[in-house]
A = this chain, B = another copy of it.
Amino acid sequence: MKMLLLLLACFPALARADFAWSYKCGQDSVCQRVPLADTNGEYIPLPKCRLACKAGGTLWPFPTGEVRIGSEVVSVNVGDFSIEAARTTRLQEAVAVFKNHFKSFTAPGEAQVKVQFQISDESSDLSLATDESYRLWIQTHNGNSIVVITALTFQGGRHGLETLSQLIQCEDQSCYMSAEVLISDAPKYPWRGVLLDTSRNYFTVPTIKKVIDGLSASKLNTFHWHITDTHSFPFYSKRRPKMTEWGAYSPEQIYTEEDIKDIVHYADVRGVRVLPELDAPAHSGNGYQWGEEEGLGKLAVCVNRDPWEKYCVEPPCGQMNLANPNLYDVVEDIYRDMLDTFTGSAFHIGGDEVNFNCWNTTKEVTDYMDGKNIPRTEEGFMELWNEYQEEALARFKKANGGKLKDMILWTSHMTEPEFLHYLDPSIYTVQYWESSTNKQLPNLVKKGFQVIMSNYDDLYLDCGFGAWVGEGNNWCSPYKGWQKIYMNDPKKYLAAQGVTDPALWSKIVGGETAMWTEQAGDQNAMTKIFPRSYALAERYWSDPATGWFEAEPRLVYFNSVMEKQRGIFGNTLKPEWCVQSQGICKLNKF
């Protein structure tokens, strides 16, 4: 013990005051918390140990190509990085975002760092065809580090920058960087996202940006904005301002054109597309009540009708009035306003949970059907619904200068095998929210549809809380832990239903977790979205051959870095002891 005290006395600058621990690379390349005596009295910070101990132990999602990371670590000051001027303001902004992540770590570094970009197209759009691959190369010589990021597109280059930021780990004032790195990387699926519902509860712009921060940090590329629903209509339509006057929860709970442009831009420089959704013809109600007052007739029916159980899946009810031809002018104007602000290559046209009894109990609709000799049978209501689907699509095309985008549609009665003929697979990509074992999944890929996985039994982030109507727990309980999300492999689900042809597997273009917000609001949704959506990020970027058990130490560490360095506060995965004592908080087999 005298020896230890002596050592501490010799290295006072290296020990952390009033702290008996250090970190050391132990067996299985795991950082272990050890008494200072075990590191000769020198305090080695956990971030430094993590970088040096296991190649790639700080990366999330894990790269899919070559990963060569040496154990040498140099201290750096990111503020002093010399970053070769990018050609576009877009890349310059991405670089500013990168630097900003490290702004609170101001200690001087040992290494002089130069970063160079070799990006073919800094103005690339993000679509299903975008090449998001990149190559990251770091070499250090005599205290000079060179970082080279090579990519075909802006999105790829930005991912490279994100990986670089994961190879820089910080504590207190200091940052450490891996000195020798070669990584080549590309995602396995082109569509990786999170849905946020801002209709059931309203989310402020800063919170939406925080969600985008989390997407960006884990290389998710899609913020699916379920911006309207029956509950409220916060999207400000400049052509139809009555929509928010009647549909917003208050005059303050509105997304203006300026807000949306701000968010779309914020996402773009972070490699994220914003996918707008106008859900229809169901999930529409509040906001549409002004039609009669303005002489356009009823735009929606069953709005807020009670007992709701008869006319919709949850209160409040509401469905578009397909008997009113004026409806389409309104929808077209909303499309126009959305297209003015949401500039991405895809659009979500809604399409879930149509309730036939609402229409069947609304005289205006039944008169319309009778007048057109549409029978009031299941087939008849499908015909009516399809009339909406076709006209809405035509209006969208008209509003978009005669072109469609990548049109996305929920699974529904219309995507069941017997009614799927209404839909054209060259037009629609289907977002699949049925259970992983439902027969729709194999049928959709066999019929040629591209599919985005959001099967509720793995990917719905709202499940497992108390019921919000009635007692017990909510409909899709239990809670979906990150492990379940991590194991959401669509190939496995297709194979279980007999689809083993890789060409059909490739119809799955990606996945999204879904944050429905009956029970989530501005101040608590982050804890439900993250770190679970990080699990999705690795599933659809890396398509890992190993399971959650192998990934856990990396995720636990990554989540703690997101908290400490980025201020992204998701749920807590473990006691902090487990973050500090890597790999011990697990089940043992003995």
Name A residues whose Cβ lies closer than 8 Å to a Cβ of B.
1, 4, 16-21, 35, 200-202, 231-232, 241-242, 244-246, 248-251, 253, 286, 289-290, 293, 304, 306-310, 315-316, 464-473, 477-484, 517-521, 523-524, 527, 548-549, 563, 569-578, 580-581, 584-588, 590
Which of chain B's residues have a CB closer than 8 A to the CB of A481? Answer: 465-467, 471-473
A473-B481, A569-B524, A577-B231 known; A251+B19 contact, CB < 8 A: yes
A572-B517, A584-B304, A588-B309 known; A20+B245 contact, CB < 8 A: yes
Q: How far is the CA of A578 from the CA of B198 in the complex (A)?
A: 15
Report whether B304 and A581 are in contact in the complex, using a CB–CB cutoff of 8 Å: yes
Report whether A573 and B519 are in contact in the complex, using a CB–CB cutoff of 8 Å: yes
Which of chain B's residues have a CB closer than 8 A to the CB of A571? Answer: 465, 519-520, 524
A471-B548, A587-B470 known; A200+B575 contact, CB < 8 A: yes
The contact sample of 15 A-B pairs, CB cut-off 8 A, is: A4-B293, A20-B289, A200-B576, A201-B572, A201-B575, A202-B576, A231-B575, A308-B584, A466-B480, A466-B483, A468-B578, A471-B484, A478-B478, A479-B479, A520-B571
Q: How far is the CA of A584 from the CA of B304 in the complex (A)?
A: 9
Which of chain B's residues have a CB closer than 8 A to the CB of A316? Answer: 577, 581, 584
Q: How far is the CA of A293 from the CA of B2 in the complex (A)?
A: 9
Which of chain B's residues have a CB closer than 8 A to the CB of A245? Answer: 18-20
Q: How far is the CA of A298 from the CA of B521 in the complex (A)?
A: 49
Q: How far is the CA of A286 from the CA of B35 in the complex (A)?
A: 12
Return the chain B residue nearest A19 by Cβ.
B251
Which of chain B's residues have a CB closer than 8 A to the CB of A569? Answer: 521, 523-524
Question: Which 6 interchain pairs have the tightest Cβ spacing?
Answer: A466-B481, A523-B569, A307-B588, A521-B572, A200-B575, A524-B527
Which of chain B's residues have a CB closer than 8 A to the CB of A18? Answer: 241, 244-245, 251
Which of chain B's residues have a CB closer than 8 A to the CB of A19? Answer: 245, 248, 250-251
Return the chain B residue nearest A577 by Cβ.
B231
Report whether A572 and B478 are in contact in the complex, using a CB–CB cutoff of 8 Å: no
Report whether B527 and A249 are in contact in the complex, using a CB–CB cutoff of 8 Å: no
State the Cβ distance, A551 to closest chain B Cβ, in Å: 12
Report whether B473 and A479 are in contact in the complex, using a CB–CB cutoff of 8 Å: yes
State the Cβ distance, A49 to closest chain B Cβ, in Å: 15
Report whether B574 and A519 are in contact in the complex, using a CB–CB cutoff of 8 Å: yes
Report whether A306 and B201 are in contact in the complex, using a CB–CB cutoff of 8 Å: no
Return the chain B residue nearest A579 by Cβ.
B249
Q: How far is the CA of A585 from the CA of B469 in the complex (A)?
A: 6
Report whether A246 and B465 are in contact in the complex, using a CB–CB cutoff of 8 Å: no
Which of chain B's residues have a CB closer than 8 A to the CB of A573? Answer: 468, 519
Report whether B307 and A576 are in contact in the complex, using a CB–CB cutoff of 8 Å: no
Which of chain B's residues have a CB closer than 8 A to the CB of A477? Answer: 478-479
Known pairs A20-B245, A309-B587, A466-B484 / 10 extra A-B pairs, C-beta < 8 Å: A16-B250, A18-B245, A201-B575, A307-B590, A466-B480, A471-B481, A518-B575, A519-B571, A523-B527, A524-B569
Which of chain B's residues have a CB closer than 8 A to the CB of A21? Answer: 246
State the Cβ distance, A75 to closest chain B Cβ, in Å: 19
State the Cβ distance, A464 to closest chain B Cβ, in Å: 6
A251-B18, A479-B465, A572-B524 known; A588+B200 contact, CB < 8 A: no
Return the chain B residue nearest A309 by Cβ.
B588
Which of chain B's residues have a CB closer than 8 A to the CB of A286? Answer: 577
Q: How far is the CA of A523 from the CA of B572 in the complex (A)?
A: 9
State the Cβ distance, A573 to closest chain B Cβ, in Å: 6
State the Cβ distance, A575 to closest chain B Cβ, in Å: 4
Which of chain B's residues have a CB closer than 8 A to the CB of A574? Answer: 468, 518-519
Report whether A464 and B464 are in contact in the complex, using a CB–CB cutoff of 8 Å: yes
Return the chain B residue nearest A484 by Cβ.
B466
Return the chain B residue nearest A232 by Cβ.
B577
Report whether B249 and A580 are in contact in the complex, using a CB–CB cutoff of 8 Å: yes
Contact of A293 among B1, B253, B519, B588 (CB under 8 A): B1
Which of chain B's residues have a CB closer than 8 A to the CB of A563? Answer: 521, 523
Contact of A249 among B307, B466, B577 (CB under 8 A): B577
Q: How far is the CA of A241 from the CA of B249 in the complex (A)?
A: 54
State the Cβ distance, A175 to closest chain B Cβ, in Å: 17
State the Cβ distance, A513 to closest chain B Cβ, in Å: 14
State the Cβ distance, A509 to closest chain B Cβ, in Å: 27
Contact of A519 among B4, B35, B572 (CB under 8 A): B572
Return the chain B residue nearest A530 by Cβ.
B524
Which of chain B's residues have a CB closer than 8 A to the CB of A590? Answer: 307, 309-310
State the Cβ distance, A216 to closest chain B Cβ, in Å: 19
Which of chain B's residues have a CB closer than 8 A to the CB of A586? Answer: 469-470
Return the chain B residue nearest A287 by Cβ.
B20
Q: How far is the CA of A470 from the CA of B289 in the complex (A)?
A: 51
Q: How far is the CA of A389 from the CA of B13 in the complex (A)?
A: 43
Return the chain B residue nearest A472 by Cβ.
B481
Q: How far is the CA of A571 from the CA of B307 in the complex (A)?
A: 27
Which of chain B's residues have a CB closer than 8 A to the CB of A467? Answer: 481, 483
Q: How far is the CA of A480 from the CA of B478 in the complex (A)?
A: 12
Report whether A201 and B576 are in contact in the complex, using a CB–CB cutoff of 8 Å: yes
Contact of A464 among B251, B479, B548 (CB under 8 A): B479
Which of chain B's residues have a CB closer than 8 A to the CB of A466? Answer: 479-484
Report whether A246 and B576 are in contact in the complex, using a CB–CB cutoff of 8 Å: no
Q: How far is the CA of A344 from the CA of B84 in the complex (A)?
A: 62
